[in-house]
């Protein structure tokens, strides 16, 4: 019987807080060891014992079963009605035409200097506006860009090691879209600034004529794609060129990007390392220059982790800000889709097209009107009035010292350049939030997959089978306790936002991990590395808060490091502004990936 009782939330904030966020404890398994672990889970004699020991080693029963939590549960994010307003933003209608929203966002971007001129600024990656300049001036056509992408994808497969970017890539479909876009530019009838710009789509987002595998071998057998996801339809109406379905960690159940079925994406900054996941393909595609932007999904860092490890911008919007209609969605109370891009402005333009709810959405807190930052207003005028919140004990608890050092350096740069102050805050119960998120996502995955034939589920990779086996140990009490912790966590974060505008953390606790040779063929279970990558990730998913990862530098090995910005509910515009400011001061510290395809030249 439970003996201890969680203190009331206001009492927690008044008392002395001891920082606690334990490292995930689990063996690293691959090959026959992983096979034996999965087999043992089905064993009546050993399975229960092994799983119970793993869960107790990581404090799950102590947190969820052996303590009284008096708070009411919160099954989906619920936000307070009265929040501090955003400054220097421009609103548009949720139901307005995507092309109009993109044009509106474009109006509020600062003037750009062409990268095609002799005196152009230092070049890192081509942006959407570079594509438009190239198309409108006749330097290149969408058809020529499509042919370069097709040739590059084919060449990448033949490399050693082979570079896997897509699960489904249909050359003729890419050519068809490019031909249509080329004709529109010839006639002067381009649909928007996104017309003809290549976009890669994570393979759990429906996009015709491709199937959606979600990284599995079998999903298209039982789930037919009949139409585009709503977000894809919105982007297609703007003329974007969907070039294929990007590889991903199977079912989104991992943060490395490992996929023994379709191939594992490699990090363009170091081909011997992971991209991060589960949006592994989108992260690699953008970092390598194949596309300026890609779409990912995020239920536990799956947009932000690969963005950080690959040196990209990655936005997870507020839960409900962009509809999930047309996604293979099993983390139903936390999942969001959003852009991974090489620049903040490109992420903003694609976000403007995607944004909006759908009549089928079932939300507890309905979105506030969407808006974009007016980036024509100088950073100096706005950034000096914003306050960043930092819980130093947490911020500095990275597993690689350089990660915290680089992120702290970026905070110093933003203060020296714009006068943006960083204020110390407290965020209690981080360990409890980590455990509650794990139980919630695990329970939702088990429920979401319950209707599929067990024969199909046995075709999942050994890693995913092993993880699902652990998830099946969660009880109704565990899930209910987790939702009570969600309400407590929401209170703590909303209290922090009373005094700061944006909360800052490193995006990940480590840079890109090394890919083991065995993982390429049979996969691997490395829950400790998963935990290291997710150390700062969880609250935006669990609480539905918007969060963006922005590259702020590299470690001594040249591996990218990302800073995470967490915003108030519905305040993506503020995140875009702050991300753009960090991008400006940290661009001299960024490096282009060593594996880079110059698609426009």
Could you list the active site residues?
Answer: 202, 278, 302
The CA distance from 364 to 76, in Å, is 7
- In a 3-state reduction of DSSP, which class is residue 220? helix
The CA distance from 46 to 128, in Å, is 55
Which spans in 3-78 are helix H?
9-14, 31-41, 47-57, 60-64
Instruction: Report yes or no: 182 and 141 within 8 Å, Cβ to Cβ.
Output: yes
Instruction: Report yes or no: 578 and 382 within 8 Å, Cβ to Cβ.
Output: no
End-to-end CA distance of the chain: 68
Instruction: Report yes or no: 467 and 519 within 8 Å, Cβ to Cβ.
Output: no
Instruction: Report yes or no: 282 and 496 within 8 Å, Cβ to Cβ.
Output: no
Neighbours of 85 (CB within 10 A): 9
Structure tokens belonging to residue 220: 């298209």
Structure tokens belonging to residue 227: 């139409």
C-alpha dist (Å) from residue 193 to 117, 197, 241, 312, 486: 20, 8, 12, 21, 40
The CA distance from 566 to 494, in Å, is 12
The CA distance from 303 to 311, in Å, is 12
Instruction: Report yes or no: 241 and 257 within 8 Å, Cβ to Cβ.
Output: no
The CA distance from 525 to 522, in Å, is 10
Angle at 288 between CA 541 and CA 194, to 5 degrees: 75
Give residue 430's Cα distance to chain centre: 20
Q: What is the signed CA dihedral for 254, 335, 423, 572, rounded to 10 degrees?
A: 130
Residue-wise DSSP of 584-597 = HHHGGG----SS--
Q: Where does residue 199 fall: left (phi above 0), alpha (psi -120 to 50 degrees), or beta otherwise?
A: beta
Partner residues linked to 400 by β-bridges: none
E strand segments, 464-513: 502-506
Give residue 251's Cα distance to chain centre: 14
Contacts of 580 (CB under 8 A, 6+ apart): 344, 345, 373, 375, 379
The length of the chain is 601
Instruction: Report yes or no: 511 and 45 within 8 Å, Cβ to Cβ.
Output: no
C-alpha dist (Å) from residue 359 to 95, 230, 236, 541: 11, 11, 20, 22
Structure tokens belonging to residue 577: 């502004």
Q: Which residue matches tokens 């100096």? A: 380
Instruction: Report yes or no: 251 and 298 within 8 Å, Cβ to Cβ.
Output: no
């Amino acid at each position: 019987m439970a003996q201890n009782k969680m203190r009331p939330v206001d009492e927690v904030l008044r008392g002395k807080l001891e920082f606690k966020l334990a490292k995930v404890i689990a063996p690293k398994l691959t090959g026959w060891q992983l096979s034996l672990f999965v087999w043992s889970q089905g064993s009546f004699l050993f399975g229960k014992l092994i799983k119970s020991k793993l869960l107790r080693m990581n404090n799950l029963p102590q947190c969820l079963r052996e303590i009284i939590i008096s708070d009411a549960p919160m099954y989906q994010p619920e936000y307070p009605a009265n929040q501090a307003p955003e400054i220097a933003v421009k609103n548009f209608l949720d139901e307005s035409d995507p092309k109009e929203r993109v044009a509106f966002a474009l109006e509020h971007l600062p003037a750009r200097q062409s990268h095609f001129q002799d005196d152009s600024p230092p070049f890192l990656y081509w942006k959407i506006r570079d594509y438009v300049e190239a198309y409108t001036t006749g330097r290149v056509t969408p058809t020529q860009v499509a042919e370069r992408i097709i040739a590059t994808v084919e060449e990448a497969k033949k490399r050693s090691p082979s570079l896997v970017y897509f699960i489904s890539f249909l050359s003729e479909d890419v050519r068809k879209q490019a031909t249509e876009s080329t004709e529109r530019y010839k006639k002067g009838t381009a649909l928007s600034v996104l017309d003809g710009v290549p976009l890669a789509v994570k393979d759990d987002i429906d996009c015709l004529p491709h199937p959606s595998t979600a990284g599995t071998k079998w999903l298209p057998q039982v789930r037919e794609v009949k139409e585009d996801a709503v977000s894809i339809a919105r982007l297609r109406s703007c003329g974007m060129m969907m070039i294929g379905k990007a590889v991903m960690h199977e079912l989104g159940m991992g943060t490395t990007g490992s996929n023994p079925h379709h191939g594992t994406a490699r990090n363009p900054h170091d081909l011997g390392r992971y991209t991060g996941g589960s949006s592994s393909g989108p992260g690699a595609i953008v970092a390598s220059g194949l596309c300026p932007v890609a779409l990912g999904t995020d239920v536990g860092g799956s947009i932000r982790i690969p963005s950080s490890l690959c040196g990209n911008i990655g936005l997870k919007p507020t839960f409900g800000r962009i509809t999930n209609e047309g996604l293979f969605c099993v983390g139903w109370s936390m999942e969001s889709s959003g852009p991974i891009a090489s620049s903040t402005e490109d992420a903003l333009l694609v976000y403007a097209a995607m944004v909006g709810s759908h009549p089928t959405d079932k939300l507890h807190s309905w979105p506030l009107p969407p808006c974009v930052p007016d980036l024509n207003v100088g950073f100096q005028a706005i950034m000096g009035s914003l306050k960043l919140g930092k819980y130093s004990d947490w911020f500095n608890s990275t597993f690689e010292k350089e990660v915290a050092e680089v992120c702290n350096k970026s905070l110093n740069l933003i203060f020296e350049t714009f006068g943006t102050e960083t204020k110390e805050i407290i965020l209690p119960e981080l360990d409890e939030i980590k455990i509650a998120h794990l139980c919630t996502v695990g329970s939702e995955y088990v429920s979401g997959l319950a209707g599929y034939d067990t024969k199909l589920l046995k075709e999942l990779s050994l890693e995913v089978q092993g993880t699902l086996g652990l998830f099946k140990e969660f009880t109704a009490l565990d899930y209910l306790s987790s939702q009570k912790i969600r309400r407590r966590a929401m209170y703590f974060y909303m209290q922090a936002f009373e005094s700061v505008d944006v909360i800052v953390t490193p995006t990940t606790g480590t840079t890109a991990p090394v890919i083991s040779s065995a993982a390429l063929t049979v996969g691997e279970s490395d829950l400790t590395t998963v935990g290291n990558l997710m150390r700062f990730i969880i609250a935006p998913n669990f609480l539905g808060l918007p969060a963006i990862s922005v590259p702020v530098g590299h470690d001594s090995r040249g591996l990218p490091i990302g800073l995470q910005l967490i915003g108030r509910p519905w305040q993506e515009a503020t995140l875009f502004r702050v991300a753009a400011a960090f991008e400006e001061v940290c661009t001299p510290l960024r490096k282009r990936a060593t594996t880079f395809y110059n698609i426009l030249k």
